[in-house]
Amino acid sequence: MAFRWKNTLKDNDVTDEHLYLSRRQLMGGAMAGAGLAALPQGAAAREMREPNSWEDITQYNNFYEFGTDKGDPARYADALTIDPWSVKIDGMVDAPGDYAFDDIMKAMTIEERIYRLRCVEAWSMVVPWNGFELADMLAMAGVQEGAKYVRFETLYRPEEMQGQKSGWIDWPYTEGLRLDEAMHPLTIMATGIYGRDIPKQNGAPLRLVVPWKYGFKSIKSIVRITLTDQEPVNTWQQILPNEYGFYANVNPEVDHPRWSQATERVIGGGLFSPKVPTLMFNGYEEEVAGLYEGMDLRKFY
């Protein structure tokens, strides 16, 4: 069972980044305390890295709705309107409908979670998220018996998201999880970073975070969640089915067809960012390996 620590932090209760890091240093790596975020206990015991800076996290992104360069989201995301915002929850649920973001937030308890983020492009960072467990949000709508998968959909608004004017992706961007993955306590819906509202370039106002999977699974700016009994086909499966599968679990033993996944470049290390060994399931093996017991992870990649 993953470590779970809740508090009443709201996303506009800003935690100063330098104070945040100093406080962690004073704690000497302890994983619980007033105002401190927490990794799962098992993962924390294996290795701790300091969270990346606000600048690292917000200026180096993949969010193709705003362009393909890592700096494009920060340059162009201000055009996005996020208020009002709602999420349609439909499919195999008891209470389908459009759920206003403000109502969702009133019903949820915000938690702090420090998670690794590992991109399929073989770079990584550590992000102090604020958010709530996806399972709690799905409970609002009531998951029906027989549902096996969760499909997610990003906003489609090309007049504000300039990257959607290109035709190389069949917009809107979609992703999916098995229901047991979605209900796992490590899986969260992020609404903030460092205690601040999540920036638009990072997926405001609501994005998925699944820390044991490659970053592209953590779909941003979500407007629709569908419960289904059929495995959804995600965007990257549609574009490059020979390179991207449904699961996208971080696995140093299974290379991408065009590059190795054995190591990763740590963002924030300057021009010569260090490379470190990639951990199975991105360091969360103890918490999630049981989800895939008996599966051929080379076949189900």
Q: What is the pLDDT of residue 273?
A: 79
DSSP classification of residue 192: E
Annotation-wise, does 130 bind a ligand? no
Quick check: 141 and 38 in contact, CB under 8 A?
no
CATH of domain 17-292: 3.90.420.10
CA-closest candidate to residue 263, choices 60, 116, 62, 123: 123
Taking the C-alpha atoms of residue 266 and residue 142, their distance in angstroms, rounded to an integer, is 40
Annotation-wise, does 263 bind a ligand? no
Give φ, ψ of 151 to 5 degrees: -105, 140
- Count CA atoms closer than 13 A to 51's CA, side-chain side: 28
Q: What is the pLDDT of residue 18?
A: 63
pLDDT (tens, 9 = 90+) of the chain, 301 residues, equals: 333 333 333 333 444 566 555 544 433 333 333 333 444 444 443 457 899 999 999 999 999 999 999 999 999 999 999 999 999 999 999 999 999 999 999 999 999 999 999 999 999 999 999 999 999 999 999 999 999 999 999 999 999 999 999 999 999 999 999 999 999 999 999 999 999 999 999 999 999 999 999 999 999 999 999 999 999 999 999 999 999 999 999 999 999 999 999 999 999 977 777 899 999 999 999 999 999 999 999 999 9
Taking the C-alpha atoms of residue 249 and residue 82, their distance in angstroms, rounded to an integer, is 30
| DSSP SS3 for 213 | strand
CA-closest candidate to residue 97, choices 242, 7, 244, 225: 225
Annotation-wise, does 99 bind a ligand? no
Quick check: 133 and 187 in contact, CB under 8 A?
yes
For 180, the token pair is 């047991």
Give me the residues paired with residue 175 across strands. Answer: 152
Taking the C-alpha atoms of residue 162 and residue 159, their distance in angstroms, rounded to an integer, is 7
Taking the C-alpha atoms of residue 157 and residue 123, their distance in angstroms, rounded to an integer, is 29
Give me the residues paired with residue 16 across strands. Answer: none
Decide: residue 245, CB within 10 A, 0-12 exposed, 13-18 middle, 19+ buried: middle
Quick check: 135 and 107 in contact, CB under 8 A?
no
Annotation-wise, does 157 bind a ligand? no
Considering the entire predicted model, what is its pTM?
A: 0.88
Annotation-wise, does 251 bind a ligand? no
Run of H or E including 129: strand 123-133
Annotation-wise, does 198 bind a ligand? no
Annotation-wise, does 8 bind a ligand? no
Annotation-wise, does 226 bind a ligand? no
Q: What is the DSSP string of 99-113?
A: EEHHHHHHHSPPEEE
Give φ, ψ of 8 to 5 degrees: -110, 25
Annotation-wise, does 220 bind a ligand? yes
